[in-house]
């Protein structure tokens, strides 16, 4: 399940082989992945040279020499591979698309579950406009995070997963960041104190950076070189002892997502999110600063 660190790793690994190469042709073996259409992507890419390979959130961004762009989103099971000149594409690897390059090599797009997407745009792709802040960029500060949280009354986990707010976190790194910050995933975003916001900000950045440094997580994902799975502290560790306090890690469901916490290190402080609206508004009025909030 590629999230920000995995996508970043892929971009770094494929950049040298792609930038400067001209795309001879694009072939799709699964029509529905291509947007606006297979033909549209083919026409847009034909004979264009790749000028840059970058990442925005979980999108891989190919910049073209005519100002166009195309995005690849790996979703759940997408991955890249190479085929050398003359080499036949593997049929068991679920190759859904191929880019033939001017050096004779082919970039392969594997995607067992067919959830991945390839989106072409003749100018800058408008898909990117809906994305929130890049958590590793300098503009993402503790005070910005504080504003993002305080402006909403929403459980922390679904908020962190919302790509229009903060872009790039997925299920694994969200659980890890909340654990490192000592915050329960159901904590209401407007009940997170200043100190906790700073902790969460630091935890998000630290866990993403560590993920990148370790070349990503390779749990149920084919990407071979990742090591981060050996350093996860809650994700996939249900029943195992917390590395801080020894308590058993607990699995729960938050917003239809499998979620992992240490019940001792991540206590649920304020649960205004599940209180009746009347009670909540009274609670807010009566306490200029809320009675209970996560610090």
Stretch that binds DNA, among 11-19, 39-47, 146-154, 222-230 (CB under 7 A): 146-154
Secondary structure letter of residue 230 according to DSSP:
G
How far is residue 273's CA from residue 254's CA, in Å, rounded to a whole number?
12
Residue pair 95/29 in contact (Cβ under 8 Å)? The answer is yes
Q: Is 29 in the site for DNA (CB under 7 A)?
A: no
Instruction: Please state the closest distance from residue 190 (CB atom) to DNA, in A.
Output: 8
- Report how many residues bind DNA under the rule CB under 7 A: 32
Q: Which stretch binds DNA (CB under 7 A): 47-55, 68-76, 195-203, 240-248?
A: 68-76
Taking each helix axis from N to C terminus, what angle separates 194-213 and 4-18, rounded to the nearest 10 degrees? 40
Interaction mask 189-218, DNA, x per CB under 7 A: ------------------------------
Q: Judged by CB under 7 A, does residue 49 bind DNA?
A: no
Q: Please, which residue, 23 or 148, has the CB nearer to DNA?
A: 148
- List C-alpha distances in Å: 4 to 178, 206, 282: 16, 13, 40
Active-site choice (5, 6, 8, 58):
58
* Piece in contact with DNA (CB under 7 A), picked from 45-53, 225-233, 253-261, 282-290: 253-261
Give catalytic status of residue 280 as yes or no: no
Alpha carbon distances (Å) from 269 to 4, 157, 184, 250: 29, 15, 8, 17
Euclidean distance between CA atoms 295 and 211, whole angstroms: 26
Name the residue nearer to DNA (CB basis): 18 or 191: 191
27 or 238, CB closer to DNA? Answer: 238
Classify each residue of 139-161 as buried b or exposed e, where b means 16 or more C-beta atoms within 10 Å of its C-beta. Answer: ebeeeebbebbeeeebbbbbbbb
* Residue 61 touching DNA (CB under 7 A): no
From 25, 122, 111, 123, select the one nearest 72 (Cα to Cα): 111
How do the residues of the chain divide into helix, strand and coil, expressed in percent and rounded to 5? 35, 25, 45
Residue 96 known to be catalytic? no
3 is catalytic: yes
* Residue ranges that bind DNA, judged by CB under 7 A: 1, 3, 32, 57-58, 73, 75-76, 94, 112-115, 127, 130, 151-155, 158, 161, 163, 170-172, 255-258, 273, 277
Catalytic residue set: 2-3, 58, 257
């Amino acid at each position: 399940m590629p999230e920000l660190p995995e996508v970043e790793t892929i971009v770094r690994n494929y950049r040298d082989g792609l930038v400067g190469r001209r795309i001879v042709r694009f072939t799709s073996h699964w029509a529905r992945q291509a947007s606006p259409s297979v033909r549209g992507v083919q026409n847009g890419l034909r004979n264009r040279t790749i000028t840059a390979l970058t990442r925005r959130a979980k999108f891989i961004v190919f910049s073209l020499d005519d100002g166009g762009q195309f995005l690849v989103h790996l979703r759940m099971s997408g991955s890249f591979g190479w085929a050398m000149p003359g080499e036949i594409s593997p049929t068991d690897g679920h190759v859904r698309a191929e880019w033939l390059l001017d050096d004779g090599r082919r970039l392969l797009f594997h995607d067992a579950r067919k959830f991945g997407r390839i989106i072409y745009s003749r100018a800058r792709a408008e898909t990117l406009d809906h994305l929130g802040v890049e958590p590793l960029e300098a503009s993402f500060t503790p005070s910005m995070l504080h504003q993002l949280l305080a402006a909403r009354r929403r459980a922390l986990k679904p908020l962190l997963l919302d790509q229009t707010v903060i872009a790039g976190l997925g299920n694994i790194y969200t659980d890890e960041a909340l654990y490192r910050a000592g915050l329960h995933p159901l904590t209401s975003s407007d009940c997170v104190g200043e100190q906790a916001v700073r902790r969460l900000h630091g935890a998000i950045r630290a866990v993403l950076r560590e993920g990148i440094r370790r070349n990503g997580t390779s749990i149920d994902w084919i990407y071979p070189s990742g090591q981060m799975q050996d350093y996860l502290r809650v994700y996939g560790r249900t029943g195992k002892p917390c590395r801080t306090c020894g308590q058993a890690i607990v699995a729960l469901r938050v917003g239809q997502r499998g979620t992992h916490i240490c019940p001792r290190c991540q206590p649920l402080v304020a649960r205004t999110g599940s209180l009746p609206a009347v009670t909540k508004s009274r609670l807010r009025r009566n306490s200029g600063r809320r009675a209970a909030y996560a610090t």
